[in-house]
């Protein structure tokens, strides 16, 4: 039996939550305010976690969302979060050519006048003078050796300086899942490190379009 991937587990969770919300909406006299729906899905998540309905891969996500739901109420936007996960992940899981998609995104950045650097070896702390321009750097070794025949063979780290939601939208447009930005892990000053994995198989929740 094939072990479930994180992508499969998070989509299963999102779709189950959305289905529960839809069933609730069809219930006569149910209150359909954002606050009521948020309370419902938070309670549903808490019960799902207690009963271990979903893979341990997503237990941490459930724990975080339950905490947010209890502290923020409707502002946690849990129903919207599940919808965004479902939409973005299904599109990314259909992408069979991650290497080609990454190159296509980079071409779009280049056309948009980003400072794109693909021919520098990144193996220590570096500083880039970009004069405020959006910028992307990928170590030449990774860019040249981790992509073959349109496929991504090994993870690639992207060092990016830009509005994070702009990057999230561009990645989603090209069917790519990126890890959330990590400033501490970045080797380029003023940049965040993001990772793209073979077959879009992120080990944890990807950067989402808000």
- What are 43-53's pLDDT values in tens digits? 999 999 999 99
Cα–Cα distance for residue pair 92/58, rounded to 1 Å: 18
pTM: 0.92
Q: In whole angstroms, how far apart are CA 109 and each of 51, 52, 137, 167, 187?
A: 45, 42, 11, 10, 21
Please give the DSSP secondary-structure letter assigned to residue 81. Answer: H
Q: Structure tokens of 115? A: 């400072």
Residues 89-134 have pLDDT tens digits of 999 999 999 999 999 999 999 999 999 999 999 988 888 876 779 9
Which letter, b or e, does each residue of 52-61 get, where b requires 16 or more Cβ atoms within 10 Å of its Cβ?
A: eebbebbeeb
Give, rounded to a whole angstrom, the gap between the first and last alpha carbons of the chain.
35
Count other C-beta atoms under 10 Å from residue 174's C-beta. 20
Cα-to-chain-centroid distance, residue 210: 11
Count other C-beta atoms under 10 Å from residue 169's C-beta. 13
């Amino acid at each position: 039996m094939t072990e479930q991937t994180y992508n499969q587990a998070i989509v299963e969770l999102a779709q189950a939550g959305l289905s529960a919300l839809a069933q609730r909406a069809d219930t006569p006299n149910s209150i359909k305010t954002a606050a009521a729906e948020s309370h419902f899905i938070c309670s549903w998540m808490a019960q799902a976690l207690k009963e271990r309905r979903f893979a341990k891969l997503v237990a941490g996500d459930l724990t975080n969302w339950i905490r947010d739901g209890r502290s923020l109420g409707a502002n946690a936007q849990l129903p919207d979060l599940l919808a965004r996960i479902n939409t973005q992940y299904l599109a990314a899981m259909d992408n069979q050519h991650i290497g080609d998609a990454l190159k296509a995104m980079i071409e779009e950045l280049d056309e948009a006048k980003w400072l794109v650097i693909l021919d520098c070896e990144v193996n220590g702390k570096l500083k880039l003078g970009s004069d405020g321009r959006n910028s992307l750097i990928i170590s030449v070794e990774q860019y040249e050796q981790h992509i073959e025949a349109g496929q991504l063979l090994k993870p690639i780290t992207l060092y990016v300086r830009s509005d994070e939601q702009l990057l999230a939208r561009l990645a989603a447009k090209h069917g790519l899942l990126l890890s959330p930005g990590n400033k501490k892990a970045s080797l380029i000053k003023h940049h965040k490190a993001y990772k793209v994995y073979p077959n879009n198989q992120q080990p944890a929740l990807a950067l989402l379009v808000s």
